Every structure is written in C-alpha cells, then in structure tokens.
Structure 1
Amino acid sequence: MSNLWHYPYGIIDELTAAEMAYMTGQSPIQPIFSVSQYGETVLPGVNRKLFDNQPSSRLFEQEYPNLFDTENHLQVIVGLDSGLLANYVLEHPLPAGSRYLFVELDEVLALLNIDIPTSLASKVEVLSLTDLKIRVEQDPLPVYFTKKATRVIKSQGAKYAHLAEYVTLCSQVEKLVEQQTFKHSIGLTQKLFIRRQLENLPDNILPAKLLSNTFEGKDCVILAGGPSLDEHLPWIMANQQKLVIIAVSRISRQLLTHGLTPDILVSVDPQEVSFDVSKEMLRLPKDVLFVNCNHVEPRLLANWHGNSLYMGNRFPWEIAEEHGNIETQGPTVTNAALHLAVKMGFSRILLSGTDLCYASSGVTHAKGSYEAAVGANMVVIGEWVDTYQGTKAETSVQMIYALEALEEEARSLPDHQHIFNLAPQAAKARGISHLPTSEIVLTDTLNNKRDLLKLLASGMDEEQRLKACVDAISALKQSEHHLSEMTLLCDEALKYNGALKKTLKSSGHSESYHQSLVARIDGIEKRLNEKFGRMTYFIKFFGYAEFTQFLTTTDSSEWRQKDMYVMTDSYYQAFKTSCIGLKTLLGEALAHLELRKAEYTKGTEVSVLMRGWEKHREYGRARLWLNTHPEMEHLHQEALETMEAALNSMIDAKPELAKRIDKLNGMLVHVERKLLLLKNAGNQVGLAQMVTILRGKAPADNEAERLFRLGECFLFELKGNAQSALNALLQLQESQLTEREYKEMASLGLKVKQPDISRLALSKLIEYSDEYYPLYASVLKLTGQYQNAAETYLEYLNKYPGDVVTWIKFGQFMVEAGERDMAISAFHQAEQADPGNAVAKHYLSELYHQ
C-alpha cells in the first residue's frame, strides 16, 4: 500500500451526510451490529461491549432477579437491549395476570425485528412512546394503575444511556406512568385521611362555616411558602392593620422570625411531615385563629392553644350538603386557604408566595424554610409554565394540579370578588391577574379583626365541649354496632358462595338448589344497601384498596363460572375486611374521645390525663387544662413542667424532613440527566438556570465543574454558538472528561472546522465503543492521516465484516486513493454482506469497465 496516497481526485474534505448527522446528534445511533462470542447480535451504539464477556441471560438474571415473581403486575421496560431483553422475557414462563410493555426509541425500533408469538401477544408488547401514550388508556391497563401494580424498569441500554435519547425516553415514560397512577389510584390514600378525621373528632368541634360572609367588602392576603413571599413581607407588615392575614401553617417558622402574626392559620395535610414543617405554629400567640381541615395532622390540632374551626364533615360518613360547612379544596393548603377566603366574602384576595413554580435561581421555597436549606433545584425534572412577567419557569407535577385548582376557584367566583397575585414571577393562572403592591390602595383599618374572629370561634365552654364528646361517643358506638352486623352479613354471603363453588365439583345438586344460593346472596346485598345504605357506600370508599382486588385484568369474554365465584369471594372479603378495619379505627377514636371527655370532667385523676397525653404526644394539652383548672397547678407543678418541656422538645427537634434535605444537599448524581433533558427539549431558560446554579458549586467540586462546563456547552449550542460551546469543554482537565464531553468535542470540532480536535476526541471515544471507529477513520482521512485512516477502517471491518455501510465507505476511499483492487475487494465484501446492494453493484460495474 506504499502508493496509497497518490490521489487522482484530490483530498476529501467532507464527512458523509450520515456521519455528520451522527456526530452532530441529529441521528442518535449508527446502524452497526456486532456478534458476541455467544452468538448474540448486539447494537454497540446501545449496549457497547456489555455482552462481550457473558451471555445476556446471565447478566439479566443478575440485574432483574424479580422480573417474573409478581402476578397481576404491569412491567413497563424502557429499552430492548438490542432485542436481547425482549427475547429473555419471551423465553420465560410469565406470571399470571402480568404484562410486559417494552418502550423503545423510534430509531432503534427501525433497526430491530422482535417476533412475538401469537400466544404471548396479549402479555408482551413492543411500543414506541407514541404508541404507549395511546395504550395506557386502553383496557385492561387502567386496572394496573388503579391498583398501583406497576413498575418502570430500565434496560441496560437505558440505564447507562450511551444514547442520550434514553434519558428523555425514561423521563417521559416515568412521568406518563406517574400521571396514570395518580389519575386512577387517587382513592387508595383515603384510609389515612379517614384515620386522621377520626383521630381529630375530640377537637373538631366548631365548623368553619361560622366564618361565612363575615368580611364582605374587605381585603385579605394569603401567605404561602413560595420564594416571592420574601419580597412581599415588608409591605404586608406595613399594612397588616388594613388586611386580614391568612397564612399557611408551614411558614410559621418564617413568620416568627419576622415578628409577623397572622390572623388566621390554615393547615390541611394528614401526613406526619406536615407536623414537622408546621410545628412552630404552636409558638404563635393564642389569639390567632386556627382553621384546619378535618383530617389535619392531629398533633397540630390537639396541641393548639387557641381557638380552632374545622373544614369539611365532622364524621367521615356524613354528606357534606347536609351540614353546609366550608369544604376543603385541594390539592394544596394554599388552595384550601383561598377557598376559605372566598367563602369569608373578601372582595380582594391577594396572593403572596403562591408562585406554584420555582424561582429563576432554582429556589423552591421562601427563606427560612427547610426546603430552602437544600438550595436550588438541580435534579427534579419538572414541567415548564408561563409566568405573569412573560418568562418560563419550572414547576412540579403537584404544583400543576394546584394551579389547575386555583383556576377552577377563579372560574366560580362571583362578580364582586377578585383574586390577585402579587408576584410577577408566579405561574400565570387563568382568571387571576398580577397586581403589584405599588398599585394597591388600602383604605379600611381593621383594628377589631382579631376580636371578631375570637367572638365567632369561641362559642363553646368546657361543659359544651364535654357534651360534644359524649354525643360523638354515642354516634361512634352506633356505627360500631352497624359494622358488626354488616360483618356477619358478609360472612353469610361468603358461606353461600362457598356452597356455590362446591356445586361446580359435584353433579348431585339441582338447579333449584343452585338458584336458592344465588338468591340468598342477592338478598344479603339488598339488605346491606337498604338497611345500611350510607355506611355501605362509605365502606366501599374507605376500603377502596381492598375493593380494587375485585377488579380483574382478564377480559370479561374470558370469564368462566369459576371466575365469577372467585370475584364474589373477593368482593365480600373486601367488604368484611373493610368493616373490620374501620371498626378498629372507631375503637381507637372512642378511646381518644374518652380521654378528652376525662379532661372536661371534674375530679379526673391528673395521672390518667398525663398518660393519655403522652401516648398521643399531646403535651400541650397540659397547658390548656391548666387554663381551666388553675387551682391544680401547685399540686402537679413538676408533672406539668415535664409536659411543657416535652412539648418544647418536640417543637425544637430537627425533623426527618430536614435530615433528608441535609442528605440531598449538594448531590449531583442526577444533574447530568437533567442537563440532557433540557438540551433535548431545547430549553435555554432551564439550561441557563442550571449553569448559574452549577457555577457557584464548581470551584469546590470537580464533578460540579464538569457539569457546569457541560451545561455551558449545551446552552451555547442551543444559541448556535459552536465555538463558545467547544471552548467551554476545553476548560476542563483531561481527567474530568467522560464519553459525553468527548462526543460533544468531536461534533463541535467539525462544526468550527477544527478537525484535529475531533480526531483527538475520537481517539478517546474508540476506547468506549467500537461504533466510533468508522467516524475516527473518516476524521483521520479528513486531517490527512490517510495511512492511519485505512488501518482503522480495516481494523474495524475485521471485527464487523457485516457492516455494509462501512465496506462501501472504505471502497470509496480506495477508489479515491487509486487502489482499484482493494476497492473491488471492499465492494465485493459489501455485496456479500448485503446481496444485491445497488451501491456496491454500481461501483463494481464502473471498476470492472475501467
């Protein structure tokens, strides 16, 4: 090959269109296959050399040990691993009622042919993302989402994401599954809400409807926990006598720091974390009115030392319309506070801290909150919304739902009421305008607002509270009795259904006997509905999780008589289990009511109260009890001081949320994924925010510096400035560079006509994957290293003799070099790998006629 470099056609100075598309990210994968020593065909662009040293089945056994363990489950698998993972699933017995959906990139699907046997077509499907979005709405998939019986699994190709497009695909699939699960399984969380509502019965005494239309024509401001709260606090403090201040409980810590006392405090969440973020409210003055949802975290309500009103129904099985109380509107406490303000009749409702999106700096909450301690959001993959100032801002899925609820509230407003958001950077909500504080004129002075609230909410003395407890105890005992009767009826139905199942195994029973059993079961169902109608309806709501087991993923056309009996069993077993579960909660609620009854009863032993307060972590009850029994203080001073110390200790303890946030602080493990998603979405605003955040962390952390430069590179690329993008990466030390940076450098070097940079980057990339060899050879040729280019082509083709495209490229190279015999050999190899290849035939015809 000594005369190889005497070109009759001059030096080639361009890569092929396909190579340029791949190098610049317009085509995510090279159509190159390799065969492992185990005879398995692999796409190196997807799986690199993962299957070179062990068969795929052995690796999959290690990586997915529980893939076939769970019945009636939906497994959504992102990626096919060159088809090997699909084959692995198809070769195994699949658990009853389970389905496996593979979701793959369109470009990879075009290269693969997965043959699914007809017998498994309803169990295993291979889909594009577009197909998946349609499929999840079709039966029986919604049943899996309802039961929360789903799992998203990453293939090895998606896990390592050598193709950056897998990052986006995984994110989109996870988000789709999350949305469908939220949509279909919302009823599964009801038990916690009902448990809390029953726990709060002793203290949910007065309804919030006492506040209805009490402030018509007045102005109020709702303080929530978004970043904009910090900007508005000075104006609010200066005008606090002209506004009714309604604050969400989670900002109590910040309010105490600033010395701002709200008039009304609102809390709704039943989870324990709600106490963690709101417990400083117990140090606010007692003339603040606490308006709580009926299912609020019980320690906030039981330990509160001022007046309180509850929203919603007092008893879980009550019908809201019968009592006309102000309902809790979700999904956030801010939505509930807004609904309360509307019902109170305010003409102007101002929103502060209701951003429902992250600040441009990435900060998610106002200063002083536990969430603010973690710093800017770098890992949450959110949605993007419009703000009042015309920019885009990132937000979470939960805040999207809150925004929709906010818009729904605004749509139903009467004409004389208006809602305004004080923050221009807040997410824009239809029906709610932005109003800067500089344009607000406040005229009314509300000096008596606290007195009015106190008057409305303090209508119960100790004797009346005692009666409320006694009445609640009576109501719960009656419900307990009804549940016992309903449980016995379920047992009867299960007995008759058991007899029906036996008729399937025996031919000695008459049709009339069979029909009599069916009639008895029908009679039980009728009795449950007629005698216990309201409680029967409520049991199905309470036991939603149990009743979903009655649902099946089997098509109704395939039901057999045996299946019908199994479903009847499941139905009455769910009924019975739910009755027993609710009865247990009623027993706990009764014990709690008895404790409160003892508080309001003269002559109760203080030691009995102490034990009860400690059990429920209601240490603040001691202070309340002393308020009505001051003569007892000197007799039990030490014990009462112990309770006060326990309350302070509980408030001061560092909550689990803060500990988790500390752990998250500074974590960079998911940042690259977010950068890739923002780049793939063309989101310059998001990338600019990430670059700003990472710039601050870069000086102290090598990984943060790498991610900062990578983010800078992506941002410059989206702006069309390839040279600046390349310069950003060239700031990094070689030890910091990964495949991601090398690939960007290879592409950018070509764009800015610095092929030597591309050559150096590709010399590193071939250490990651053989797929880069043809590109490396092309760039070697482009930079005049013709001998190395030819050797690189041949080294690659020796390993991948079936790569038709590269044989043709090498043949063209030989034609240009004047090496006729080697060119003919290359085109013959291409034709052998792909018989009838038109390009190879054309070149061979030309060469043989020379």
Structure 2
Amino acid sequence: MLTIIFESPSTGGSLMSSDGLFPSPQLPFDSFTQNAFGDRYLYQVNREAFNKVGASAVFAAFFGESLFHQNTLHVVVGTDSGLLLRHIAQKGVPTGSRYLFIELPHILAALESEGVLGMLGERGVCVTVGEWLSKAHEFKIEEYFYIGGVEFWQSIAAREARIPDYAEIVWSVEAGLIKLRWAVSAALGSEGFTACQMDNLAENLVPASVLKDAFRGKTAVLLAGGPSLDACLPWLEEHRNRVAVLAVSRIARRLQEAGVTPDIVFTVDPTEMSFDVSKEMLEFDEHVILIHAYHASPLLIGQWRGMSFYLGDLLPWKSPLNPPSLPHPGPTVTNTALSVAQALGFSRIILGGVDLCFSRDGYTHAKGSNEHAVGPRFDLSPIKVETNGGWQANTTADFAEAAISLAMQAVQISRSGCEIVNPSAASARMEGIAYRPLTEIQVHSAAFSVWDIVRQRVEPPTPEIRQRHYQKVLTELAKAIHQIKAIRDLAVKGLEYNLGIYGEADPRRAVKNKILLDRTERTLRTRYRQFSQLTKRLGIRDFLKITRPFEDAELDAESAKKLGAVYYEAYRDGAQRLLQMLRKAERRLNSRLEEEKAEPDFDRISQQWREDKQYGRARIWRARHGSVPLSPTHHKELENLEQLYRETLTAPDSAHLKRAKHHSSLSAAQKRGRILLKNRKTNELSDLLNSLEHHPDKQAALEYCQLISAYLAELNGDHEAAMGLLYPIVQNRESPLLEDALLRVLSISLETHQAENACSALECLSLISPVYKPQYAEMLKLLGRPIDAVDVYNDYLAAFPDQIYIQLKLARLYFDIGTPEAARMMLNYILERMPENESALALAAMIDGVNVEGERAGEPVHFTF
C-alpha cells in the first residue's frame, strides 16, 4: 500500500509509494462502508459489486442453490468482505455441510474486528492460504471426496482479482484440490468406467496380450501432445521405416496435418471429451492398429474401422471370458502407452511431445490441438518443474502428478533393460528418462512393418469370429442379469423389513422384521456375493452417504431408520442401474449380430447406431457388407448416417474447445501480469509477452502486449520507453487495461518527480473509482491547489461518510487554508462519535488557541492520522 508523507504546503512535500509499483493509497482494509441495501463491506475488496442490486441478490444469481448443497465441503476463496458469511448464516448451514473460507490475513483481521468470523460456528471457518489444507483434513475432505461432496468456489472479489493475491490463492488452492481429487478418484474407481466397458463389449474382441513381446529389440517413438511434438517430426520422417510410431489419440489431427501415419494409436479415457479431442483418429487408414483401455470412449471404439486390441478385463466380474492383460497403469494415456510399449518388447522408447509442462511462450499442447488453436494459456498455476534444459517451467497440478507417476514408471522400465529417451530440452526432467538431443540419437536397426508383425500374430477378425464372440458375451450377460435382478428384489425386501423394524407398534413384529433383515443381508453377502460387491462398487458414492463426514444430529430411531433406508436404496438403485447397463449391452450385441446377416433388419441396426451416436458404423457396415441389397429408403438412411458422421468430425465448437478458450482468455493474462510485476519477475514477464505475441487475435492482444512491455521497461529502469508504451492505452477510455496503465503512469511519474503528470493520472483514476480520490486530493495539496483538494475530499466523503481518517485530513486542510470554522465543525462531528480521538483533540486545541505539546513557534505541527 502507498505510504503518504506530507508537510504543510508552505514547506513543500512529496508523494511516494512504499514499493514503487502499486502507488494506490486505497482504503484501509479495516474501513467498512455501507450501500443503500444495508450491506457493510470493504470498498477496496468489492468496489461497486453490490451497489446495484445488493449482496444477497448478487450471491443468489452467482452461486444459486449449489452453495447450499447438503453433505458438502464448500471450499471458498475470499469472503466478499464477510458478506458471503452473512449470506450463508442467514440461509442456514445445510445438514452435514461445512464451509472453509480462505482469505487474506489483513482482511481476516478486519473481519474479526467487525465480528463476523464466528457467524457459522464450528461449521464454517476462515483461514489463510497457509492453513487451508490442514483445516481441510480436519473437515474430513477425503470423506467428502468419497461421496462427491467437495465444491470449489471463488468469491466475487476473488473472481475479479483486483487484489492480485486472490489469483495466486485460487491457483494454489485449485492445484491442491486437484491433487487430492486425483488420489481419491483413483482409489474409488468410477461407475462411468463400467458403463463404457458395457458399451464396448462387442468391440472388446481381441486382448492386447496377444501382442506381448512381438517387437522385441526394436525402437519405438512414442508421440504425445506436448508443445515439443513438432520438433521431432522431421527427425521421425528421416527414420520412419526403422522405428514404430506409437501415438496418443489426441494428436491425430496434428499427425494428419503433418502427413504422419502412426503404426499404433492409444486411447484410454471414457469421456465424450476424449472423443472431442481424438475423433480425427477415425480417419486413419485400416492398417493403423488401435490399442485401448476396456473403458475407452465408445464413440471412438465403436467407430474404429481397423484392428483393435483392448487392455484389461472384458467383463467387470469374474468370468472365463476375461483374458490375461498387459499392464496399463494411469493416470494418463502416456502412462499406459509407455508400459504397453515395454510389454510389446521394444528395447528403446523415444518420447516426442511428452513435456508435462508449458512451453516458454505459454503453450500446453502442440499445433493441431484445441489448446494450441486458442492461443497460449495465461491462467497459470504457481507449480513449476525443472526442464531437461535446466530452466523452470510452469505446469498444472494434473501434469505434475502425471510427471511423478511417469518417472516412477520409467525407473522400473529402465531396470528391465528398456531405454527411455526424451530429446526435448523443454520437457520436464524425470528420473528414469534420459535427455538426449535428436542429433545424438541413432537408429541402426533394419526397416520393419508393424502391420506385418501384427498380422503374423493375429488375423483381422472374420464375421464368424465376431458372431461367436457376441454369442459368448450374451450368455454371460444373461447369467449376470438373473443375479442382479435377485439382488434388486432382495434390496426391495430389505427396505420393507427396515421400515417394519421401526414402524411396528408390536415389538414381536419388529423383532421378526429384524430377523428377516439379517437373513436378507446374509444372502446378499454369500449367495450373491460377487454381484453384490459389483453393485456396491458401482454405487459406492451412494453407500458412502451412510458414513457422512459429519452427522449434525443425534442418531435416534428415526435417523437409524433413514440410514437403513439409504443403505437398501443404494443396493436397489445400484442394481437397477447395472441392469440397465446390461440390457443396453444385450440390445447392442444383438444389433451387432444383425449387422452380420445376409439380409439384416436395417431399421434395427440403424436405430442402434443413432442411439449410440456411432454414425461411423454405417461406413464400417458398408465396407463389410457392401453387396447387401438395400431399399431406396435404407440406402438414403445409410447416406444420412455417413453425412452425420462427417458433420460430427468437422463440428467446430466442441465442449473441449470452449474449455480451452477459457484458459487462454486475455483477462487471465492481465491478472498474471499484475502478479509478475508485483514480484518483479522479469523473465516470466518476458515469457508472458512472448505468449501474448502468439495470441491468435493479434488486434485484441495488442494493448496487453503494450502493457506487459511497459512493465518490463519500467522494471528495467527505462521510464521513457514505458511511458511511450502506456500512452496508447490511456488514450483509449474503453480499454479494460485503463486502470492498470494509469497506475503505471502514476508510479513512473512519482519515481521521476513529474508531479503534474502524476496528478493527471490520479484525476483519471479517481474517475474510474473513488478509491483513488484521497490520493488525488493529496497530490492537489502538494501542487498548491488546496481548494481543489477540499472539493475532492468532500466528494469522497459524500460517498464514504464514515471515513474518520479522511475527515481528519480535511479538517487539517481547512485549518491550513485559513478556514478554522470549517475545520472546527468537522472536528466537532468527529468528536461526537469518537470523543477520545487524540488527533482530533490536538487539532481542536490548536484551533482554540491552546498550546499543543511538542509545538514550537515557527514550526509545523505534526499529527498522527
């Protein structure tokens, strides 16, 4: 915060900044103001956020009812001057929920003096960023994660980030939450994985284990989506016939642009987002091999037209149909591909685009990706890693976790005799992975064909092989459906018996229901043990609700009845969801059988393709059964489906693209620039400038480039250059960077003793926000314009009438310009409210002609305000 040092106008004075970077006096953090709706808040924190409709209306629109979900740990950065605490207290803390607020220390001190910190009792606490993680563990965050009950919020002030520290806290806390969520999700598994496994039953035909050691002694190049991918493509072209090219699915678009056809593609993620970023892989020719997790996106697996091999179990229960599997660790597709490459027998694996950190110009992914298309990423986290080249690079929490797991994996693989090499200096340095530039990597093996080697192991499945597979799986599904229906029926009975225990007036009937309930539970645990465990695994989050992190009421009979109901409802609902998956899989397998017929029911199979959104199966069916005669209607339907497939591949604005755009917003660059300037990070500011210069919208990024360039010039002491860069921004009154640019003009003007220039900057700033009016008034005093300063002070106090500090300054100014009556009126107003205020008493005594201790003739009087 700016420190103002001033003397009487007759003796001159100066205006200085305590850090030379942010010359804003701003309101004291303990100075609350009140709006027309009765909201008391810190103007420096929230400014005008609640002045149009009031805090409650803003919170209702911004957070909605999600802020009041039961059995949820709400982690919130910022308190919005304590108003968010009041909002929750007024609505009431939901059952089983807790609120963990993370706030700046000086704001916490102000809130404590205001008496709002304890409003939520033990169910809500406010801590600093250094304390949040330990308090989160006290609040049993892991158990909340188990039940999907952790929500992360940014207060209004944190989202706007006018105080740069908020952005840093958001990055830090979000990174910590991602790390915790990863650990818990890995332990729990996901119902979505099993759902995709069921959807892929028809295509999970050949296990990848049939390829074990097929490429012994050969070299593989494993390509991922990091920014360094492009650097290795020319080298790859030179050595193409003597290496196997393994690629993660998300880089398919880039490889097609570069004219590179991989030998093997890997995909593992079960989400539709995975399809969004990988759908171009479906256009590779039929000689490309697909190796995929059993739960990979069905939109990719079901529309793949070449040979494919799956990793993991065919079915999610013990079955003779489950084959041996190759190791396929996560959490990323690169982890999986690396382990599979070793299992396939490759003696050397060269990594390309396995960076797990950002490039110096802010890119997270290579060309051809959505992330690269929207420009560099600006909302960087504080996490950094050391690169092979020896410099520090930004990364994300998930990238950092992946780098840790990849290093552990690489160490084990290296011990087996397989060498792993990364030729990129810009990649994260990882143990077990040797750094060696491409110029030093030699490939001496003879040319070979991956397709020919695979064909020697296994022939592409014939219609007969596919039909036998479909029939075997249908038989297994029928057995499973019988078991799951029995479990569902037992769960329904369990609900009935549980109600009978607590709902019967006759104790003997209650005892009978208890015996029947115990018998039901034993049957679930013994006769139906395997499928009961599967049902529980799928509905684990529902079952975990029984062990809620916090029970806010005593467990009476009514609560015990409710818990019993929750337990058997979880069984019933889990069994029902599993039944739906199994029956859906049955329909799909029968549709696949129909596809193989000489005269299929085309309406049936096309309906299945539409239901699954697997329009590309029309193309696969045409290739396999092009000689089957179709009616004109069916022929038209086939053409429509193929058109839908093409439209899906070329759809421009996917959900993934929208998310990528959010990370590359220019407002994020503005926030990051403030933080880097504050911490004098010249190297990182240079990297940020480089990123902005690569932004796809050059015109929109121009002013941001000018501002960051001005920051660099200022830190390097070239004030003239900085001012030249700032001038075009301050001339644009509509610029979102106007306030930031004026602050720099003010800072440089103060540093170079250009008082008039500083005054002009302050005048403009005071028009943007009244927070700058006190400093503007001080500057006017120093320039010998006390009457103007009086007007500015009065304008400010009209908006913030409770600011004693400013009232004292105005009273002193009245006295200095020879209007003691006005000064005495102001002091009377202050002393009515604060009769013990020493500064007001001292000035009043002087005005009244009483000697003040420390005053000597001819010397100015000093007061502490």
Q: Given the alignment of the two structures, is residue 532 of structure 1 paired with residue 528 of structure 2, yes or no?
A: yes
Match runs of 1:33-182 below 5 Å: 33-36=32-35, 41-48=40-47, 56=55, 66=65, 70-112=69-111, 113-115=113-115, 120-182=120-182
Q: Distance in 1 between matches of 2:342 and 2:514?
A: 53
**Residues 116, 124 of structure 1: 8 Å contact kept:** no
For residue 234 of structure 1, report the CA deviation from its aligned partner: 1.8
Residue 705 of structure 1, aligned match among 702, 707, 714: 702
For residue 567 of structure 1, report the CA deviation from its aligned partner: 1.3
Match runs of 1:363-374 below 5 Å: 363-374=363-374
Partner of 1:744: 744
**Residues 32, 771 of structure 1: 8 Å contact kept:** no
Decide whether aligned partners of structure 1 residues 552 and 620 sit closer, same or farther in structure 2, where only a CA change above 3 A counts: closer
Q: Distance in 2 between matches of 1:696 and 1:248?
A: 26
What residue ranges of structure 2 are gaps of 5+ in the alignment?
1-6, 846-851, 858-865
Partner of 2:481: 480
Superimposed CA distance per residue, residues 303-340 of structure 1 (whole angstroms, 9 cap, x where no aligned partner): 33332211111112249998430143223222221111
For residue 439 of structure 1, report the CA deviation from its aligned partner: 0.7
- The SS at the match of 2:517 is helix
Q: Distance in 2 between matches of 1:712 and 1:450?
A: 53
Decide whether aligned partners of structure 1 residues 514 and 92 sit closer, same or farther in structure 2, where only a CA change above 3 A counts: same
- Greater CA deviation, 8-17 or 751-760? 8-17
**Residues 780, 786 of structure 1: 8 Å contact kept:** yes
Match runs of 1:582-597 below 5 Å: 582-597=578-593
Q: Distance in 1 between matches of 2:289 and 2:8?
A: 92
Q: Distance in 2 between matches of 1:580 and 1:332?
A: 31
For residue 593 of structure 1, report the CA deviation from its aligned partner: 1.8
Decide whether aligned partners of structure 1 residues 730 and 604 sit closer, same or farther in structure 2, where only a CA change above 3 A counts: closer
Decide whether aligned partners of structure 1 residues 23 and 396 sit closer, same or farther in structure 2, where only a CA change above 3 A counts: closer
Q: Distance in 2 between matches of 1:194 and 1:219?
A: 34
- The SS at the match of 1:110 is helix
Decide whether aligned partners of structure 1 residues 694 and 571 sit closer, same or farther in structure 2, where only a CA change above 3 A counts: same
For residue 221 of structure 1, report the CA deviation from its aligned partner: 0.6
For residue 587 of structure 1, report the CA deviation from its aligned partner: 0.8
**Residues 148, 185 of structure 1: 8 Å contact kept:** no
Partner of 2:727: 730
Partner of 1:687: 685
Partner of 1:302: 302
**Residues 307, 454 of structure 1: 8 Å contact kept:** no
- The SS at the match of 1:91 is helix
Partner of 1:442: 443
Q: Distance in 1 between matches of 2:63 and 2:618?
A: 55
Q: Distance in 1 between matches of 2:320 and 2:550?
A: 37
Q: Distance in 2 between matches of 1:377 and 1:608?
A: 46
Q: Distance in 2 between matches of 1:194 and 1:53?
A: 49
- The SS at the match of 1:137 is helix
Task: Tell me which amino acid in the other structure corresponds to 2:377.
Answer: N
Q: Distance in 1 between matches of 2:319 and 2:714?
A: 59
**Residues 74, 144 of structure 1: 8 Å contact kept:** yes
Residue 549 of structure 1, aligned match among 542, 545, 557: 545
Q: Distance in 2 between matches of 1:434 and 1:32?
A: 56
Decide whether aligned partners of structure 1 residues 670 and 594 sit closer, same or farther in structure 2, where only a CA change above 3 A counts: same
Query: Would you say how many aligned residue pairs link Structure 1 and Structure 2?
Result: 836
Q: Distance in 2 between matches of 1:276 and 1:87?
A: 42
Q: Distance in 2 between matches of 1:595 and 1:67?
A: 41
Q: Given the alignment of the two structures, is residue 846 of structure 1 paired with residue 841 of structure 2, yes or no?
A: no
Partner of 2:269: 269
Q: Given the alignment of the two structures, is residue 286 of structure 1 paired with residue 293 of structure 2, yes or no?
A: no
Partner of 1:650: 645
Match runs of 1:801-820 below 5 Å: 803-806=803-806
Task: Tell me which amino acid in the other structure corresponds to 1:571.
Answer: Y
Q: Distance in 2 between matches of 1:397 and 1:602?
A: 53
Q: Given the alignment of the two structures, is residue 326 of structure 1 paired with residue 326 of structure 2, yes or no?
A: yes
Q: Distance in 1 between matches of 2:619 and 2:821?
A: 100
**Residues 807, 829 of structure 1: 8 Å contact kept:** no
**Residues 226, 364 of structure 1: 8 Å contact kept:** yes
Match runs of 1:370-389 below 5 Å: 370-378=370-378, 383-389=383-389
Partner of 2:420: 419
Q: Distance in 1 between matches of 2:288 and 2:594?
A: 26
Residue 566 of structure 1, aligned match among 562, 567, 570: 562
Q: Given the alignment of the two structures, is residue 673 of structure 1 paired with residue 708 of structure 2, yes or no?
A: no
Q: Distance in 2 between matches of 1:155 and 1:105?
A: 13
Superimposed CA distance per residue, residues 140-171 of structure 1 (whole angstroms, 9 cap, x where no aligned partner): 44444433344445444445444343343444
Q: Distance in 2 between matches of 1:360 and 1:848?
A: 61
Residue 571 of structure 2, aligned match among 572, 575, 588: 575
Superimposed CA distance per residue, residues 346-404 of structure 1 (whole angstroms, 9 cap, x where no aligned partner): 22111112222333333333333444332333456574332211233333333233223
Decide whether aligned partners of structure 1 residues 729 and 635 sit closer, same or farther in structure 2, where only a CA change above 3 A counts: closer
Task: Tell me which amino acid in the other structure corresponds to 1:444.
Answer: S
**Residues 15, 750 of structure 2: 8 Å contact kept:** no
Q: Distance in 2 between matches of 1:51 and 1:482?
A: 58
Percent identity reads 27
Decide whether aligned partners of structure 1 residues 189 and 704 sit closer, same or farther in structure 2, where only a CA change above 3 A counts: farther
Decide whether aligned partners of structure 1 residues 337 and 638 sit closer, same or farther in structure 2, where only a CA change above 3 A counts: farther
- Greater CA deviation, 440-449 or 562-571? 440-449
For residue 240 of structure 1, report the CA deviation from its aligned partner: 1.6
Match runs of 1:813-828 below 5 Å: none
Superimposed CA distance per residue, residues 65-89 of structure 1 (whole angstroms, 9 cap, x where no aligned partner): 5477644344444433433443343
Decide whether aligned partners of structure 1 residues 823 and 600 sit closer, same or farther in structure 2, where only a CA change above 3 A counts: closer
Partner of 2:244: 244
Q: Distance in 2 between matches of 1:586 and 1:528?
A: 20
Partner of 1:397: 397
Decide whether aligned partners of structure 1 residues 822 and 595 sit closer, same or farther in structure 2, where only a CA change above 3 A counts: closer
**Residues 96, 550 of structure 2: 8 Å contact kept:** yes
What residue ranges of structure 1 are gaps of 5+ in the alignment?
1-6
Decide whether aligned partners of structure 1 residues 259 and 128 sit closer, same or farther in structure 2, where only a CA change above 3 A counts: closer
Task: Tell me which amino acid in the other structure corresponds to 1:239.
Answer: H
- CA-based RMSD of the aligned residues comes to 4.1
**Residues 216, 347 of structure 2: 8 Å contact kept:** yes
Partner of 1:3: none
Partner of 1:342: 342
- The SS at the match of 2:110 is coil
Q: Distance in 1 between matches of 2:455 and 2:462?
A: 13
- Greater CA deviation, 368-377 or 414-423? 368-377
Superimposed CA distance per residue, residues 20-41 of structure 1 (whole angstroms, 9 cap, x where no aligned partner): 7894469995554445567664
- Greater CA deviation, 230-239 or 820-829? 820-829
Task: Tell me which amino acid in the other structure corresponds to 2:45.
Answer: V
For residue 477 of structure 1, report the CA deviation from its aligned partner: 0.7
Q: Distance in 1 between matches of 2:80 and 2:618?
A: 64
Match runs of 1:787-802 below 5 Å: 787-789=787-789, 792-793=792-793, 796=796
Q: Distance in 2 between matches of 1:205 and 1:700?
A: 50
**Residues 171, 380 of structure 2: 8 Å contact kept:** no
**Residues 820, 847 of structure 1: 8 Å contact kept:** no
**Residues 616, 645 of structure 2: 8 Å contact kept:** no
Decide whether aligned partners of structure 1 residues 564 and 729 sit closer, same or farther in structure 2, where only a CA change above 3 A counts: same
Match runs of 1:761-776 below 5 Å: 761-776=761-776
Q: Distance in 1 between matches of 2:493 and 2:308?
A: 45
- Greater CA deviation, 190-199 or 66-75? 66-75
